[in-house]
Structure 1
Amino acid sequence: MGDVKNSNIEKALSKVPAKLLRNWTLELTSRCNLRCTYCSVPHAEEYGMVDMSAERIEKLKSLMKNSGVDFISLSGRGELTYIDGWEEIVTPFFEMGLPTHTVTNFQKPLTWEQARLMACFSMLTFSIDNVDREMTRKVRKGGDLRNVIYNVNMVKAAGLAMGRKQMNMHVIAVVTKSSLGGFKDLAALMVSLGVQHLKLQDLVMDYSDRVDTVDISHISELPDDELVDAAQDLVDARQICLENGVGFYMHPSLETIINKALGHSQKDEIVADRVTTTNVGDHMRHGCRLEEGETRDCIQPWQLAILLADGGVEPCTGSYGPIGNYDFAEKPDEFFNSPDMVELRKSLLTGNLGQACKFCGTAKAIKVEDFQKKVQNYIRERLTT
C-alpha cells in the first residue's frame, strides 16, 4: 500500500482486506462457573448465558478456510471447561495445525486426560489475582487458589509425559483495591509455578458501585500515601518476574498511576467516566488522559475478531460491544468490514473516539499521525507475508 494523503487516510485504512484478520477468537460459551465481582458475567444480564451451537462452530471453521488465519483462541467471557463435552469440541481445532490458545480460570479440577488435552494448546492463559485464599473466595466467588495450583501442575506434568518440555503459560491478574499489597507474593508464586508471563490488568469495567462485600474499586481512588505503597508493590512484582526470566506487562493506565505515585511523572493523567456498552452494561472506565491530537494506540480492530457465542462479533478485548454478526456471512470480509467496524477504525485514525475507547485503560495515548503510520506499516507487512 502506498502513502496516502492525510485527507483520505482514514478512508484508505478503515476498510481493509480480510487477510489482515490474523487472530480468530471463538467464544465457545458465555457461561462461567465463577461470579467474579469485577466481571461482566454477574453484572450484565442482558447478554445471557449462551453456548456456541455446533452449527455456528462449523460455520466459523468454514469461514476460516483460506482466510489467512494464523492464531485461534478459544476464549471469551465464559469458561471453556464449563461446557459439557468441551473435550470433543476443542480437539478438531488442534487438528487444523495452527497455534491455539485458551483462557481458563482453572477452577474445575482436571482429570489426567483433560490435563493432557489442555497441554495440547500452544498457549494457555489462566487467571488468579493474589495468594490469599480468603480474598480469592470473596473477589472471585466460587474460586479456590488450591484448584489453580493443582491444575497448573497437572497440565505441566501431562505436557512432560507427552514430550513437551515446557508449557507456554501466561497469567492475568486484575488490579483492584482488594488485591493490592499482594502482587509481589503473586509474582513469586507464578515464578515457582514456572509460568512464562504475568500480566497485571487494570479494571476494564468498574462495577464497584454494585459490590458491597469487598472493595474492588479502582486504585486511582486511593489516598496518595496508600497509592505509593501500592505502586511499590507493583514495581516489586515486576522486579521478581524480570529477575527470574518471567515476562511482565501491565496496562498503560497502571503504568501511569505508578509513575505519578513514585514521582516519575507530575501529570495527573487518569480520567474516568460512566460508559454503557452492549453486552457488559453500565459501568465506570478509567484510562490515560488523551490530549488534543491523540488517539488510543489500539490496532486490534485491524487484526482481531472476537466471535461471540450468540453470533455477534466484537473488535477488541476491551468490551467495546458487537460491531457485526457472522451468522449470515459468506466470507470473513462481511463482518471484518462491517459498517460499524469501519466507523470504529475511522474514529481511532482521527482521534474522534466514542466513550468506550476514550476512557479505555488497555491502550496508551499516541499521536494521531504516529498511529496512522503504525496502521499503514501493519497493513504493508501483513499483506506481504
Structure 2
Amino acid sequence: MAEQGRTAAGAAGTIGAWMLRPLVLRYLRSGFAPLPTLLQLEISSHCNLRCVMCAKTIGATNVVPDRLMPMGIFSALKSVLPFVEYVDLSGIWGEAFIKPDLYLEMLAVLKTHGIFVRTISNGTLIDGETAREIVRLGLDLLTVSVDAARPETYRRIRRRGELSTLVAAVRRIGEEKKRQGRSAPRIEFMALGMRDTIEELPELVRLAGDLGVSRVGLQQMAEYRGMEGQSVAWRHREMGRKWSDAARTVAGEVGVEFSLIPPDQFEAPQEMETFKDLRGAPRTYALKDCFLPWKMAVVTAGGDVIPCCAMFDSMGSLRTQSFKEIWNGERFRELRRRLIAGTPPAACIACSARGWRKPDPPAELRMVRELLFLPLRRTLRRIPFLGRAKSALKNRLGKA
C-alpha cells in the first residue's frame, strides 16, 4: 500500500508538472532561479596530505592558494541558510578538519537551521575532541576518502598519511556514537576507481565492515594530465567489473552497502566518445541532464561563488556582493540559459558526471516538478515537529 501511495503521488506530481510545464519552462529559460537548496562550502583549500591523484598536487589545475574560509564569508550566507536543505561542508582541494574549531563553529550554525550536513574528509585529523563534538552537534554524514586497504598502498597513494590513523579516527567516532546514544553521523568510505588500487576494493569493503562503516562507494575517476591511463571506468573496464563484483560479494557477507558512482560507469558509452558526440549534438538527452545551477552553488574559501566543483568560473564574490545578487546575476543566468538551450560551456561538455544520463522522467520534467514542490517543502521545513521527525528518520535510515 505504501508503495502504491508513493507511485500515485509521483504520478500526480508528474501530471501536475506537465500541466504547468509551459509556464515553468518560461521561467527556467529566463535564467532566474529560486534560492538554492544545496550548498557546497569550501571550508579549506589547504590539505595535510599530498595524494598522488589530486589535481592540485600534480599541478593539473590552476594553483589554488592554501586558505581557510573566513567567518565573515560564511556569515554572508546568513540570509540564504533558511532556504537550504543540504550543505556539503568540505574542501574542494582541501581537508575539512584542517582547523577543527572553525569547522565545528560552522557546523553548529548549520545545524541550528535544521540543515542536513555532509562532510568529505581524509579522516586523519579527527582526534578525540573533534569526534565527540561532531557527534554532539549532529553531523549527518561523514564521507571518508580512502582508496587502499593495505598500509603500504595507502602510504604510497595518500602521501603523508597513515591508514592506521584513519582507522583510529573512525573507531573514535563509533565509540562516541555509542557513548552519546546517537546513530549519526553515518560513515561511508569513498574510493576512486584507480588502476593502482582497484584490486584492494574487496579488502576495503571488509575493513569497512569491521569498523561499522555503512557504505562503500566506488567513484568514477576522471583522467587529466599526470593521471593518464589510471581511470578504471575509462580504460580498464574488465578489471573494474571483476573487482567491483568481488567487492559486492564481500559487502553481502559483512553487511555493508556497496555502490558504483555513477552506477553505469562500466556499461556507459566510452567517455571520450561521449564528449565527441556531445560536441556535435546541439540538443540531446545528455545536454539536458544537469540542472545544478538552478538548485546548487559552491562557495570557495576565498568567497567566490561558482556553479559546481567541476566548473571554476566565478559568478561573483561574497566579498563585494550579496549571495542573492550573485545567484540571479547575469553570469549565473547566462549559464542557465545556455544549459537550457543545449549550448553548455566546455567545462560542462567534459563533465564526467553527466555525459550519458537518460533520466526517467526526463530531466526537464523533473526540474519543473521540483520547482513546483519547492514552496511546499520549504513551508514544511519551518514546522519544528516535522523537521525533527525528518532528522530522526534520516538517522534511523543511516543506522539501518
Query: What TM-score results when the alignment is normalised by the length of structure 1?
Result: 0.79
Which of 55, 59, 64 is residue 47 of structure 1 equivalent to?
64
Counterpart CA distance in 2 for 1:337 and 1:242 is: 47
Q: What is the DSSP-based 3-state SS (H/G/I as helix, E as strand, rest coil) of the residue aligned with 1:208?
A: coil
1:129-168 paired onto structure 2 within 5 Å:
129-165=147-183, 167-168=185-186
CA apart distance, 1:152? 0.4
Counterpart CA distance in 1 for 2:149 and 2:159 is: 15
Tell which deviates more after alignment, 151-160 or 296-305: 296-305
1:231 equivalent in structure 2 = 241
Counterpart CA distance in 2 for 1:372 and 1:205 is: 29
1:124 equivalent in structure 2 = 142
1:64-213 paired onto structure 2 within 5 Å:
64-65=80-81, 67-77=82-92, 78-83=94-99, 85-86=101-102, 89-90=105-106, 91-108=108-125, 110=127, 112-119=128-135, 120-165=138-183, 167-204=185-222, 206-208=224-226
Q: What is the DSSP-based 3-state SS (H/G/I as helix, E as strand, rest coil) of the residue aligned with 1:124?
A: strand
Output the aligned Cα RMSD.
3.0
Alignment-mate amino acid for residue 121 of structure 1: L
CA apart distance, 1:245? 4.7
CA apart distance, 1:107? 1.3
1:259 equivalent in structure 2 = 267
Which of 340, 344, 349 is residue 353 of structure 1 equivalent to?
344
Deviations 1:28-52 (A, max 9, x none): 1111101112223322453211111
Change (3 A) 1:249 1:345: farther
Aligned partners of 1:295 and 1:349 also within 8 Å: no
Structure with the higher helix share, 1 or 2? 2
2:398 equivalent in structure 1 = none
Which of 294, 302, 309 is residue 302 of structure 1 equivalent to?
294
CA apart distance, 1:98? 2.9
State the identity as a percent.
Answer: 21
The answer on 1:30 being equivalent to 2:45 is yes
Counterpart CA distance in 2 for 1:367 and 1:8 is: 23
Change (3 A) 1:337 1:9: closer
Counterpart CA distance in 1 for 2:355 and 2:259 is: 13
CA apart distance, 1:246? 3.4
Deviations 1:248-306 (A, max 9, x none): 33233x734x237xxxxxxx53217xxxxxxxxxxxxx969646623242332222211
Q: What is the DSSP-based 3-state SS (H/G/I as helix, E as strand, rest coil) of the residue aligned with 1:85?
A: helix
Counterpart CA distance in 1 for 2:276 and 2:258 is: 20
Deviations 1:331-356 (A, max 9, x none): x4322223232233233323322222
Counterpart CA distance in 1 for 2:270 and 2:232 is: 14
Task: State the aligned residue count.
Answer: 348
Alignment-mate amino acid for residue 354 of structure 1: P
Aligned partners of 1:56 and 1:327 also within 8 Å: yes
Structure with the higher strand share, 1 or 2? 1
CA apart distance, 1:10? 5.2
Alignment-mate amino acid for residue 353 of structure 1: P
Change (3 A) 1:9 1:269: farther
Aligned partners of 1:32 and 1:79 also within 8 Å: yes
CA apart distance, 1:97? 3.8
Change (3 A) 1:221 1:26: closer
Counterpart CA distance in 1 for 2:166 and 2:293 is: 32
Change (3 A) 1:241 1:315: farther
Change (3 A) 1:380 1:125: same
CA apart distance, 1:8? 4.8
Alignment-mate amino acid for residue 178 of structure 2: L
The answer on 1:379 being equivalent to 2:371 is yes
